[in-house]
Structure 1
Amino acid sequence: MISRREVMGGAVASTALLAAGGVQAAGDDAALKALLDRLAKGGRADQKLATLSAFSPTPLSPAARLDYDAVLSAFTTEDDIVRRFPFGAGATSPYVVTTRSGTWLKAADAAKSGDTAADAVKRLDAETARIAEDAAKGVVLPAFVIDKVAAGLAETATAVASAPELAAALGRQRSVLIALRPQAGKEIGVGRFKDGETYYALLLKAAMGADITPSQAWARASAAARALTARADRLLKAQGLSRGTVGARLATLSRDERWLYSDDDAGRDRLTADMNAWLTRAVSRLPASFATVAPGSLTVRMSRMSPADEAARRQGYREAPAFDGTRSGAYFADLSTIRTRPGWTLPSVVHHESVAGHMVQMPLEERSGAHPLRSRMAFPGFSEGWAIYAEQLADEEGAFAGDPLAELGYIQWMLFRVGRLLADLGVHHKGWSVEKATVFLNDLQGPPPVFSPVSQGLERIAIGPAASAGQGLAWLELVRLREESRKRLGAAFDLRRFHDAVLVPGPLPLSMMRARVLGAA
């Protein structure tokens, strides 16, 4: 019998639990937490699933049972992906090495120590062997990503020339990738893999915590894009912009000097003050839509970065407030290229990054006590999807009433959100090329309202299929769930109660969230 002390003390590895032949560990909250802590460190998908399945959830508290059920659901999907599609980096990417993953990214640091360098050589060669094995199954990085990784490997090999064995390992990996480039073809999505449609559907399921086919996702996203485009067209025409695509007209408006801030301290201070004015109004609306709000969410602020961060062109970042307000929250906007950020694009940033977006959701997640493994795996797109939902909620609450330019800024942001969703689906479900996806996004949204080019977003979509789609679908599914609940309850529907049901328990797979919300309805 595996004792609670052994599980809590960390003395029992996954293999030992598996060898126990299904004997159940003591099922209390502390034991589950210790077990999830161990499983969070990684391991084979089948072993993690078997280990957690061997744990008895019967005596768990309601909150701990949510951890158990949510992680078990995520592990089940992960195991299904890895078992049926044994290549790449498991359920996170079909590729072992990319511009964002692989030992090569930390090789320069590894070169500083002989022992670390030797370990890095082993890991590099193991990854190189995996790249070749996956290629035999038809899984090869898109050609444009191969070019970027190959260039990075060459640059890194030069930088670690003082560690010749490490430099040689980097060169071997580069040679294998370059040799595979002709095999990459022109397509960049996973649809070119054997059973790629099924693979992509499973990745969407992992991102959502619920079944949704690529075709269903495409239909819902396309409908949202059409509605947003029609609304943008009306608003742009009211501004005297009636010719060209919506994206082209948004590009024209974004260059209008009337709505740009000066590139100096005065301009940055004025922009920050304008964002805080929108934030004050957003906080005042919280009681009408939320029954449970963290005290810390009421004191968040929009802030300028330090001069050093601005000079380094650090991207925008947030510091989440503590639930009880003992830690204040702030969003630090990226203002390094302030002349590309017209004032009418800012209100939606406030609602997404602070209230009622991340700065409302994150403290409630903290208070829920959800295990980090649940937060990471149950519904990976939930946090970002909630923040997008919060932008729509602000619009529904009348935040932009009487301010057509702020409304237009909101629409552009939503076109950006749904554009990433459609681009993910287009690349992996429809077989779009980089060129087709680029034209589509430029026509739909104009210049991206975030400070990253379209090409960077498409690279992330190519190497991380379903991640961007999962965020956009999270938003659409939250709206669908709300409206289904409203339809069932009729006049008894309470928006505040709905938001509590979604946020207070912490992140849950969409399938579990639907069951809880609609069961309560």
Structure 2
Amino acid sequence: MLKTGLKAGTASAGLAALSSLGMARAATPAAAPSAGASSPEDARLAALFDTMMGAMLDHSPETATALGVDTGKRANAKYHLDDRSQAAWNEAKTRNARDLAALRKIDTTRLTGNNRWNHASILFSVEVADEMNRTFSTLGTPYAVSQLTGCYQSIPDFLDSQHTIETSADAQAYLARLDAFATAIDQDSEAVRHDSAQGVIPPDFVLAKALIQLKALRDTPVASSNLVASLVRRTAAKGIAGNWGERAQAACTARVLPALDRQITLLEGLLPHAVHTAGVARLPKGEELYRISLRNYTTSDMDPEEIHRIGLELIAQQSAQADEILKAQGYTKGTVGQRLRALYDDPKFRYPNTDEGKDKLIADLNQQVVAMQARLPEYFHTLPKAKLDIRRVPKAVEAGAPGGYYQNGSLDGARPGAFYINLRDTAEVPSWTLPTLTYHEGIPGHHLQLSLAQEAGLPMLRKIQFFSGYGEGWALYAEQLAVEMGVYKDDPFGHIGQLHDSIFRGVRLVVDSGMHAKGWSREQAVKFYTDTIGDPETMAITEVERYCVWPGQACSYMLGKLDWLRLRDKARTALGSRFDIRLFHDAGLLPGAMPLPVLDQCIDAYIAKAST
């Protein structure tokens, strides 16, 4: 999973609708003319992209920091957070509509090279955003604050991991952002009030989980809160003199904690009005919301019934493969799900649930990365320069966070890419599940794909674009590629882990469409999940509740993987002996993220060129 910082439906004026519809935060150099202009229409498109990128940076100081451009003429951005007010949201909608009109005026028949894919990719995002803006008047799509959305969930990690501190001015900016954090919380609360007045209230279990996390943030002693500790630790490391801890504590006590109290009171007041229904169909225009969300995340128009059917078929196919390997390893009794649960419960696969055990787990993941890195040249012609870190999900948000996610590094290498793994309980991450997770989030998955896009000669706006169908599909394809590379030749339990995760993505198709289109309850979804793949109920609950607040996103993984496999088969069939998997990977990765229909056109162009 890619962690973008801002999720669908946030009221951020800076990333506007583009951020909520597929824009991944990735570091790139300060604004410069977009590359690739070789015709007058290419130059016109490059100028439009630069204008759009400039507007994004002007309106989103958080994006400027995430991209590493909060310096020079944008140094003031470092003292601010995004404006999450309704006025800012409305302004963002206006900008999106203006961008759409400008994009539609580009004569695509006169574009050359990758600009064909660049235009089509940006146009897709802006069109889907426009459709959502015209269809819904709510500020969250669907919920402005949940266990996974809202600035309370994103800003503490943003301040710790992306706000750099090298000088006294950087520390002053951190304090300014602490103050702005309180304003952002109140703006999120106002969005909740706005949406709830229109009948958009999260399910009771979503509110309950959000309240657990909000209270954990509020109730942590201020002096030991990471909001304070991060500033103290980093100023000390740089030898920056000042009473930073005292000032940060004062800001938290005077501003942040009261804002958290207000948001907690607000959500507690909504609880009596919340229902237990999991899907979004109950919301105003809920069926349309799910349709647009599916198109946004999967970049396809596949209907929920077909998605549900594909999921069931894939579960059957992948479970049959897992059954064979499980039997060969002596696991013969019970369903596949029951036998996978037996593996979860087997202590020989479990790391100690201690800080030492968790450190050992992360060390083992790093060894897997090193081993995979050595194999990459056999399958990839172009490799990224960016380094990869493996880190724990911050303790403050691990209760509601997914099992793992990736956060982009900076193009200059100052901040490496990071694979975050949730270690709230090592029983949830037995050793046989870890290789495929590492290949998904790290290499040859998200880190390789996103780093190549950042390092390619793409327009800045395209460097930071992310499509879930393409990117999550690639990461799941990378899991399958690891099997083909032979990494599980002497590791049958690791291969079981890969099949488990493949079945898991089939379960996602069934459960997501089940809840949002077929009326499944949360409990029905959790039971199907645990029965099918045997995961602990705590993990199933976290996943199912994630699907409730990000409708459609979970469908992007497997549908994207199937498209990558289909296109590879298409290229192999068309090219025969001329097919080179390394060049196929270059063709699909170096032009950057794109909607799957555009990827299809891109691969067709590669086939045509390779055939001559």
Q: Structure 1 length as normaliser, TM-score?
A: 0.76
Q: Is the 8 A contact 2:467 2:594 kept in 1?
A: yes
Contact 1:125 1:173 in 2 (8 A): no
Q: Structure 2 vs 1, CA of residues 243 and 158 (structure 1 numbering), >3 Å: closer, same or farther? A: closer
**1:54 counterpart SS class:** helix
Query: Within the alignment, does 1:101 sit opposite 2:101 as a pair?
Result: no
Paired residue for 1:479, among 565, 568, 592?
565
Provide the rounded CA distance (Å) in 2 between the counterparts of 1:317 and 1:376: 17
Query: Which aligned pairs between 1:364-443 and structure 2 lie closer than 5 A?
Result: 364-370=452-458, 374=462, 379-443=467-531
1:78-129 Cα distance to aligned partner (Å, 9 max, x none)? 212332343342xxx223443343477799999986x986886576346413
Which of 181, 186, 189 does residue 124 from structure 1 map onto? 189
2:101 is matched with 53
Structure 2 gaps of 5+ residues are 1-15, 18-40, 60-88, 157-174, 221-251, 608-612
Matched, 1:501 2:587: yes
Shift in CA distance, 406/245, structure 1 to aligned 2, threshold 3 Å: same
Task: Report the secondary structure of 1:432's partner residue.
Answer: coil
Determine helix, strand or coil for the equivalent of 1:453: helix
The equivalent residue for 1:4 is: none
Q: Separation in 2 of the partners of 1:494 and 1:424?
A: 36
- Shift in Å, 1:320: 6.0
Find out whether 1:32 has 2:49 as its counterpart.
yes
- C-alpha distance in 2, partners of 1:411/1:35? 42
Distance 1:37 1:302, change over 3 A: closer
Deviation at 1:141, TM superposition (A): 2.1
Unaligned runs of 5+ in 1: 1-12, 15-23
Q: CA deviation at 1:435?
A: 0.6
Question: Quick check: 1:226 aligned with 2:316?
Answer: yes
With structure 2 as the length reference, what TM-score do the two structures score? 0.66
- On the 8 A contact 1:318/1:329 being kept in 2, the answer is yes
Q: Which has the higher contact order (CA 8 A, sep 6+)?
A: 2
Q: What is the root-mean-square deviation of aligned Cα atoms in Å?
A: 4.5
SS class of match (2:331): coil
Give 1:206 shift: 0.9
Judged with a 3 Å threshold, the aligned counterparts in structure 2 of structure 1 residues 377 and 88 are, in CA distance, closer, same or farther, namely farther
Change (3 A) 1:376 1:81: farther
Alignment of 1:84-483 (within 5 A): 84-89=135-140, 93-102=141-150, 124-125=189-190, 127-133=192-198, 135=199, 139-149=200-210, 170=263, 173-174=266-267, 177-181=270-274, 184=275, 186-193=276-283, 196-261=286-351, 271=361, 274-276=364-366, 278-294=368-384, 296=385, 331=419, 337-338=425-426, 341-370=429-458, 374=462, 379-447=467-535, 453-483=539-569
**Structure-2 residue corresponding to 1:10:** none
| Structure 1 contact 111–166 (Cα < 8 Å) conserved | no
1:70 to 104, 107, 121: 121
CA contact (8 A) 1:98 1:463 kept: yes
Q: Which moved more, 1:365-374 or 1:258-267?
A: 258-267
Question: Which whole-Å CA distance do the structure 2 matches of 1:106 and 1:398 have between them?
Answer: 38
Cα distance in 1 for residues equivalent to 2:438 and 2:184: 45
C-alpha deviation, 1:65, in angstroms: 5.5
- List per-residue Cα deviations over 1:469-507 (Å, max 9, x = no partner): 223322222222222333444444332222112100010
Q: Number of residue pairs matched?
A: 482
Describe the SS at the equivalent of 1:27. Answer: helix
Q: Residues 507 and 166 (structure 1 numbering): CA distance in 2 closer, same or farther, change over 3 Å?
A: closer
Partner Cα separation in structure 2 for residue 371 and residue 205 of structure 1: 24
SS at match of 2:585: helix
Residue aligned with 2:518, SS: coil
CA distance in 1 between counterparts of 2:491 and 2:264 reads 57
Deviation string, structure 1 residues 282-309 (Cα, Å, up to 9, x no partner): 3343233222223x27xx577677xx98
Q: How many percent identity over aligned positions?
A: 30
Look up the equivalent residue of 2:203 and give its one-letter code: P
Deviations 1:189-219 (A, max 9, x none): 1233466444322211111333222223223
| Aligned partner of 2:598 among 489, 512, 518 | 512
Separation in 2, partners of 1:107, 1:287: 38
CA contact (8 A) 1:205 1:211 kept: yes
Q: Is the CA contact 1:46–1:79 (under 8 Å) kept in the aligned structure 2?
A: no
Looking at structure 1, the residues matched to 419 and 371 of structure 2 have their Cα atoms a distance apart, in angstroms, of 16
Residues 372 and 172 of structure 1, relative CA distance in 2, 3 Å threshold: farther
Looking at structure 2, the residues matched to 352 and 421 of structure 1 have their Cα atoms a distance apart, in angstroms, of 18
Please say which of residues 492-501 and 164-173 is displaced more in the overlay: 164-173
Distance in structure 1 (CA, Å) of the matches to 2:414 and 2:588: 24
- Post-superposition offset of 1:515: 1.2
**Structure 1 residues 433 and 331, CA, compared in 2 at 3 Å: closer, same or farther?**
closer
2:465–2:593 contact (8 Å) kept in structure 1: no
Aligned equivalents of 2:438, 2:183: Cα separation in 1: 48
The 1-side partners of 2:437 and 2:155 are apart by 37
Tell me how far 1:364 sits from its aligned partner.
0.7
Q: After superposition, what is the alpha-carbon deviation per residue over 1:232-261, rounded to whole angstroms, capped at 9, x for unaligned? A: 122222222222232221121233344344
Q: Tell me which residue corresponds to 1:19.
A: none
Partner amino acid for 1:36?
M
Mapped to 2, the partners of 1:501 and 1:512 lie a distance apart of 12
Q: Name the CA shift for 1:370/1:49 in 2 (closer, same or farther; >3 Å).
A: farther
SS in structure 1 at match of 2:143:
coil
Distance 1:352 1:168 in 2: 38
What secondary structure sits across from 2:123 in the alignment?
helix
Whether contact under 8 Å (1:70, 1:378) holds in the other structure is no
Larger Rg: 1
Offset of 1:398 from its aligned partner?
Answer: 2.2
Cα distance, 1:105–1:259 mapped onto 2, change above 3 Å:
closer
